Amino acid sequence: MAIAIPKAYLTGSNWKPYLPPTIQSDWTNYLFSDMPNDTGTYVWLRDWYEQFEDEYEKTEFRAEMFPIAWKSKVGLSDASVNFYTNYDIPILKGDYVINEAGEVYMLNWTISKEINSQHTQAVKCNANVQFYRHVKETWTKDGRLDQPEHDEVIAPTIPALLSEYAGRPDYSVAENTPGINPDMLSVCQVQYNDVTKNIRINDQFKWGPFTYRVINITYTEVAITGETGILGFNMRRVGGEYDPEAV
């Protein structure tokens, strides 16, 4: 069936939208102005571990950070803020940014692009974790100990977002223990990079006085290129006990 097109769409128009010639430079000038609790200088890290390399050169940029109008207590959303910058740095979801006070934030929303700015959300990291793998002892064919049982570091210390799973409570029964015990899941997110991509199910880390084990890995927030993004884990507490002095 043919669609009738109004004549207004077939004729040319002399109207042109006005684009202010300084729309981008004005925004950059604003970013380089010292606005209390709004603009600041940030260190940008596409890969957290690159700062420990000998040839590392720090990259700094200006950005605006301000509160989000809505709040909740699910998944650290109360620690999230709006994050706006210009096009000097090609920010991506999963990047770490460090403010002038040394606080580490992860950019955890897909980047939106506007005429003169890039914007996303950032959430303040609330833990530094080191992932390790328990490796069993190995023996040679003639009965000699080849490698003793040990814990092997898979991902050195990296800032993370840790929270309790917001679903229904989970309980389990422990042998020789009366009643049922809380067995809540925890959620962990870290930057996806060449080091953290080696983390596997059953790897562990310590959080406060407790030990947690990876029971699931999700790549839902890793870029389709497999190069950047956020790596997600479900964790289960497997060891440790509450010690007020350790917290």
DSSP string, 191-202: E-STTGGG--TT
DSSP-derived secondary structure letter, 115: S
Give mean pLDDT, residues 212-221. Answer: 94
Q: Which residue has the tokens 């992932």?
A: 131
Beta strands in 109-183 (DSSP E): 112-113, 118-124, 127-135, 138-139, 145-147, 150-164, 171-172, 181-182
Fold of 20-124: Thrombin, subunit H (2.40.10)
Q: What angle do CA 202, 208, 209 make, to 5 degrees?
A: 80
- Sign of torsion, CA 127 121 61 54? positive
pTM of the complete model: 0.83
CATH topology of domain 127-246: Thrombin, subunit H (2.40.10)
Delimit the CATH 2.40.10.270 region(s) of the chain: 20-124
Task: Please give the Cα distance from 117 to 215 (Å, whole number).
Answer: 39
pLDDT at position 168: 56
As beta bridge partners, residue 138 has 147
What residue type is assigned to position 28 of the chain?
T
Q: Which amino acid is at 219?
A: Y
Q: Which of 56, 58, 240, 210 is nearest to 127 (CA)?
A: 210
Question: For residue 37, is pLDDT > 70?
Answer: yes
In tens, the pLDDT along 133-173 reads 988 877 777 777 667 777 899 999 999 999 987 665 555 55
d(CA 6, CA 176): 80
**Is 39 a residue whose pLDDT tops 60?**
yes
